[in-house]
C-alpha cells in the first residue's frame, strides 16, 4: 500500500470546552513541541514551513490558524494568501480564449484566496490533537476563524488545497456549509519493493522497458555521466537556480516560483533530510533533483535541467532510474514524484493518488456559478492520464 502522511500524536488532557482562535504570522511563534504533538512525524513539518517563510516567495503570505481549548493548543492549520487562477489546469484552445479575455479583463478567473494547506506540500495537512479529533466544535471553529480572516483580508475565496480523501474526515461535511469539492492535480507515487534494479525493469510494460533500456544505453554510451549526492549546493547555487528556472519556464502548470534563497534555506533548516542529486555530463552540470528523504519515504521535490544537455542525454530517465536504484539500495519503499508530467510517470510505474480541493466563494450566487464552472476546468478534462 502506498504511504501517506499519517497524523498521530500524544494529546492534551481533555478539558471543559472553551475554544478560542488565533492567527499567527510565523511558525516561529508556535512552540515546536506543540507542532510535533498535533502533526506527528511528517516529512514536511515545522522546519519545512520555516524554510518557505524565509525564502521570500513573492506570491504568498503565510499564516497559521491556531485553536486552543482553554490553555491547550488543539489545532494548527497552515494557511496562506495568494491570487488563484481558476484556469490553472486548462490547456489548448480554451487557455488561448482565456488569455485573450485577460487582455481586456486582467483578473478574469483570478481571485484573492485564503488557502488552507501547503503551497507545495505533497498534500494538505491539518494538525489536530488526538484528544480533539472527534470534537464537532473543532471544524465549526476552524471555518469561523477562516471566514473571519477572509473578511479581514478582503479575499473572495476560501480553499482547502490538495487534501487526500477523508483526511481529515470532516472536510466532506463542509459541503453543507456551501463548500464544493473539486479534483486537484493528483500526486504520483510508486512502491519500490524490488530486490534490485532489474526487478524494477521487469515490473514495467514491455515497450516501456525496451525504450528505457535504449535511452539509458544511449545516454551512457555517448557521454561520461557522473552523479553526486550533496547535502547543500551553496557553492554552485547560481548554476542550480539557472537550471530550476529553465524547468519552471518549460512547465505548463505553474503555481509557485521558488527563489534562490529557498535552495539555500532548505539545506540549512531541513538537514539531514535534504539531498541534492547532481547530474554531470562530461563535467558540466546538466540536471539536478532536490529530494526529501525521511524514513520510508523518498520525495523527488524539485528538478532543474539544462535542456540542451538533458534532452540529448535523456537525463530525465537517467535521474528517474538513479532515484529508483537509490531507494532500493537504502531500503526506501515509497517514492513520490509529485504533481504534473503524468504520462511519463505512469509509464515508469507510478500510480496517481487523487487529491481534492474544497472551495467556497463569499457570494452565494457566484459560488453556484463557480461550482458549475469547476466541472469544465477540472484537471482530468485536460490530462488523459488523470482521466484514466
- Which segments of the chain have a pLDDT < 70? 1-17, 89-90, 251-254, 377-388
Domains of the chain in sequence order: 19-186+354-387 (3.40.630.30), 188-352 (3.40.630.30)
Predicted pLDDT at 295 = 85
- Specify the pLDDT at position 378: 67
The pLDDT of residue 381 = 58
d(CA 281, CA 287): 9
Residue 70, Ramachandran bin (φ over 0: left; ψ between -120 and 50: alpha; else beta): left
For residue 94, what pLDDT is reported?
77
State the pLDDT at residue 17.
66
Residue with cell string 505548463: 252
DSSP 8-state code for residue 301: E
DSSP 339: S
C-alpha closest to that of 358 among 186, 178, 139 = 178
Amino acid at each position: 500500500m502506498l504511504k501517506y502522511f499519517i497524523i498521530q500524536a500524544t494529546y492534551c488532557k481533555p478539558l471543559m470546552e472553551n475554544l478560542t482562535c488565533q492567527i499567527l504570522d510565523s511558525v516561529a511563534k508556535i512552540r515546536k513541541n506543540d507542532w510535533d504533538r498535533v502533526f506527528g512525524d511528517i516529512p514536511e513539518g515545522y522546519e519545512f514551513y520555516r524554510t518557505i517563510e524565509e525564502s521570500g516567495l513573492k506570491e504568498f503570505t503565510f499564516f497559521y490558524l491556531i485553536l486552543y481549548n482553554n490553555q491547550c493548543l488543539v489545532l494548527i492549520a497552515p494557511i496562506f494568501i495568494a491570487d488563484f487562477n481558476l484556469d490553472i489546469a486548462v490547456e489548448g484552445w480554451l487557455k488561448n480564449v482565456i488569455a485573450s479575455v485577460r487582455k481586456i479583463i486582467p483578473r478574469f478567473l483570478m481571485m484573492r484566496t485564503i488557502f488552507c494547506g501547503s503551497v507545495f506540500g505533497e498534500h494538505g495537512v491539518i494538525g489536530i490533537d488526538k484528544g480533539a479529533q472527534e470534537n464537532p466544535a473543532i471544524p465549526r471553529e476552524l471555518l469561523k476563524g477562516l471566514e473571519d480572516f477572509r473578511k479581514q483580508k478582503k479575499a473572495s475565496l476560501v480553499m482547502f488545497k490538495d487534501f487526500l480523501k477523508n483526511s481529515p474526515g470532516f472536510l466532506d461535511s463542509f459541503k453543507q456549509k456551501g463548500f464544493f469539492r473539486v479534483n486537484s492535480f493528483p500526486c504520483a507515487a510508486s512502491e519500490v519493493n524490488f530486490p534490485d534494479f532489474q526487478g524494477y525493469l521487469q515490473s514495467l510494460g514491455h515497450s516501456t522497458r525496451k525504450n528505457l533500456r535504449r535511452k539509458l544505453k544511449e545516454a551512457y554510451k555517448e557521454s561520461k555521466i557522473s552523479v553526486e549526492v550533496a547535502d547543500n549546493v551553496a557553492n554552485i547555487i547560481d548554476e542550480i537556480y539557472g537550471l530550476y528556472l529553465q524547468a519552471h519556464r518549460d512547465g505548463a502548470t505553474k503555481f509557485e516560483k521558488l527563489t534562490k534563497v529557498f535552495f539555500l534555506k532548505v539545506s540549512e533548516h531541513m538537514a539531514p533530510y535534504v539531498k541534492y542529486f547532481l547530474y554531470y555530463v562530461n563535467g558540466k552540470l546538466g540536471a539536478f533533483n532536490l529530494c526529501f528523504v525521511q524514513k520510508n519515504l523518498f520525495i523527488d521535490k524539485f528538478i532543474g535541467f539544462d535542456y540542451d544537455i538533458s534532452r540529448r542525454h535523456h537525463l530525465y530517465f537517467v535521474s528517474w532510474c538513479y532515484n529508483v536504484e537509490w531507494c532500493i539500495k537504502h531500503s526506501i519503499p515509497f517514492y513520490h514524484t509529485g504533481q504534473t508530467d503524468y504520462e511519463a510517470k505512469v509509464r515508469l510505474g507510478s500510480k496517481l493518488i487523487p487529491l481534492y480541493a474544497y472551495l467556497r466563494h463569499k457570494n452565494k450566487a457566484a459560488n453556484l456559478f463557480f461550482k458549475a464552472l469547476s466541472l469544465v476546468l477540472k484537471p482530468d478534462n485536460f490530462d488523459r492520464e488523470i482521466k484514466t
